[in-house]
Amino acid sequence: MQTLRHYLLAVQFFTRIPVTGRLATWVGYSPAMLRASSAHFPGVGWLVAAVAVGSYAALWLGLGGAGFAPLAAAVGCTIATVLVTGGFHEDGLADVADGLGGAYQPERALEIMKDSRIGAFGAMALVLALLAKVALLAQLGHLGLSSALAALAGGHVLSRLWPLVIVRALPHVGDTATSKSKPLADQISVRALAAAALWCFPALALVYQALGASVLIASLLASAAGAAWMLWRFARRLQGFTGDCLGATQQVGEIGFYLGAAIALAQRAA
C-alpha cells in the first residue's frame, strides 16, 4: 500500500490527472514520500503513454491511416500529452534554453531560469522540440501504426528514467527554498534507481517485440545519448541541476527515442 501511495503521489506531482479529495488525503504528502516516489517516475510515463497511444491510434484509424493521417495523429497525441502533463517538462526545456542561451556564468543562468517569462531561446527550443516530435511521430506513422505506438510507449517511459540519472550524478544547484524539486535535491538511492529501471523493462520489451532488436538498440542509444549530452551540459555550465533541468532531460530523451526508432526503421525499409 505504501508503494501505491508513492506511485499516486508521483502521478499527482507530474500530471494533471486528479488525485484529490479522500484519495489525496489517503495518499498523504511529505518530502520523504516525494523523494521515494521518484522510483515511479517511469511508471507515470506509462499513464502518459496510454493517453498518447490511445489518441494516436484513434486519429490514425479514424482518418484511414493514409495521406495526412499520420501527421494529424502526431499532432493530436502531442496535444493530448501536453494536456495530461500540463506542459510540465516542456516548461523546463524552455527555461533551461533561456538560461543556458542567455548567460555563460552559472549564477546568471540560474537567475534567468527562475524567471517565469519565456525568452527567445526558450521559445525557439520549445517550437523546435514540438516540431521534432510531430515530424518524427508522423514519419513513424507512415512506416506503420505499430511502429508509432511502440515508439510512443518506449519513449514516454524510458525518457522519465534519465532525469533520475541526472539527480544521481549531479548536485542540486537551484534555490532549494522555493524549488519544487527540493525533495529530490538529496541523492537518489541505487535501490530507487533500480526500481525506476524495472518500470522501463516492459516498455523496452514491447518495442523489441513489435519492432525488433535493431530498432530497440537504436532507440535506446539515441535516447541515452541525448540524456548524456544534457548531463554534460549541466555539469559544465551549471555545475549541477535544477528542476527545470530534469524536465528538459525528459524532453530530449523522448525525442531521441523517436529519432533512433525512425532512423532504424527507415534503414531497414531501404
pLDDT (tens digit per residue) in 55-67: 999 999 999 988 8
CA 130/CA 79 separation, integer angstroms:
10
Better-predicted residue by pLDDT, 211 or 174 = 211
The dihedral built from the CA positions of residue 137, 198, 10 and 206, taken in this order, carries a sign that is positive
What cell does 53 get?
497511444
CA 156/CA 160 separation, integer angstroms:
7
pLDDT (tens digit per residue) in 158-177: 999 999 999 999 999 976 55
Prediction pTM value? 0.94
* Whether 209 contacts 154, CB under 8 Å: no
Cα 186–chain centre separation: 21
In the chain, DSSP finds a helix count (H) and a strand count (E) of 13, 0
Query: How many other C-beta atoms can be found within 10 angstroms of the C-beta atom of residue 105?
Result: 9
* Crossing angle (nearest 10°) for helices 213-237 and 145-158: 40
Model confidence at 141: pLDDT above 80: yes
CA 198/CA 208 separation, integer angstroms:
16
Those residues with Cβ within 8 angstroms of residue 257's Cβ, 6 or more apart along the chain or in another chain? 151, 154, 155, 158, 159, 219, 220, 222, 223
pLDDT (tens digit per residue) in 22-31: 988 898 888 8
Nearest in space to 50 (alpha carbons), one of 138, 132, 156, 129: 156
Q: Is residue 179 very low, low, confident or very high in pLDDT (cuts 50, 70, 90)? A: low
